[in-house]
Amino acid sequence: MKTFQQYQQDISEHINGLLKSHIASLPDHAPRLKAAMEYALLIGGKRLRPFLLYATGEMLGVKRENLDGAAMAVECIHAYSLIHDDLPAMDDDDLRRGHPTCHIAFDEASAILAGDALQTEAYRILLTYPLAPSLQSKRVDLLRQLTEAAGYQGMCGGQAIDLAATGKQISLPELQQLHEKKTGAMLIASVTMACTLCPSLSDEEKARLADFAAIIGLAFQVQDDILDVIGDTQTLGKPQGSDQAQEKSTYPAMMGLQGAQDYLHSLHLQALQALQPLPYNTELLVSLADYIIQRNH
């Protein structure tokens, strides 16, 4: 079996190739828009959502080619959300993954359109990308899971809560709800979409995998908040201390740095416990949970 690092590299190369080929296949009637879409998709990133989708699906015996469409769609949604998140009307960031943000590299109008186009492209991919005949009936389920995770009930709703909370004191449960929607919903969708492509999975197994995704989504955000305090701009690929500068509610601000680190450790244990009863080789998912709490960017 591949190590975590080998699998992570494999998935990054695989999804990058798929996305590059897909963008190249689009007509050339709007070249600047197409270039902005490609830029946002391919300037790097952890590919956490595709990793989670492929690792879950392949663990359950789903062939990789049947996971490709869902993985591409998830990453298109993620890229669109980052483009819009960086805009002057939202976080007004100039750096993303160590590169100029899309509206800096191109212009604000092109960035808005690139985000819009990537969002709708995600849905088109889910509806049209090749899928085994036995799984064709699952397209609507996949689309429902992605739209719910990306829209008002998930990521967009979480971003709205985040914007409304900026500069204000919110409670710990409110902060958790914010991140469950803004970050966690898309991670859960990455798992549930993979589960949808494995019809033999039991409801209990699906629930455990969804719980795992929810927990690591929260852990990811707690570590992000910690790194905003103790990291550095060059390693992070974005300005260190930007959360504090924008008066955002964070776990270190609410719990203290040590309290946030202790909470991160607790979430890590919860994630491992969610996986423990599953009758599958969960080694890659365990390694992913380890990586999330140990990463430095």
The rounded mean pLDDT for the chain is 93
Delimit the domains of the chain by residue range.
4-294
Tell me the whole-structure pTM to 2 decimals.
Answer: 0.93
pLDDT single digits (tens) 176-215: 999 999 999 999 999 999 999 998 999 999 999 999 999 9
Q: What is the predicted pLDDT for the residue at 248? A: 75
Superfamily of chain region 4-294 = Farnesyl Diphosphate Synthase (1.10.600.10)
**Of 188, 182, 173, residue with least CA distance to 251:** 173
pLDDT single digits (tens) 12-62: 999 999 999 999 999 999 999 999 999 999 998 889 999 999 999 999 999
Q: What is the predicted pLDDT for the residue at 260? A: 95
Least confident among 64-73, 103-112, 174-183: 174-183
**Of 135, 139, 92, residue with least CA distance to 111:** 92
Least confident among 29-43, 89-103, 145-159, 275-289: 89-103
| Mean pLDDT computed over 261-289 | 96
Q: Is the pLDDT of residue 243 over 70?
A: no
Q: Is the pLDDT of residue 239 over 80?
A: no
State how far the Cα of 75 lies from the Cα of 46, in Å rounded to an integer.
11
Percent of the residues in the chain that have a pLDDT greater than 70, as a whole number = 94
Q: Is the pLDDT of residue 240 over 60?
A: no
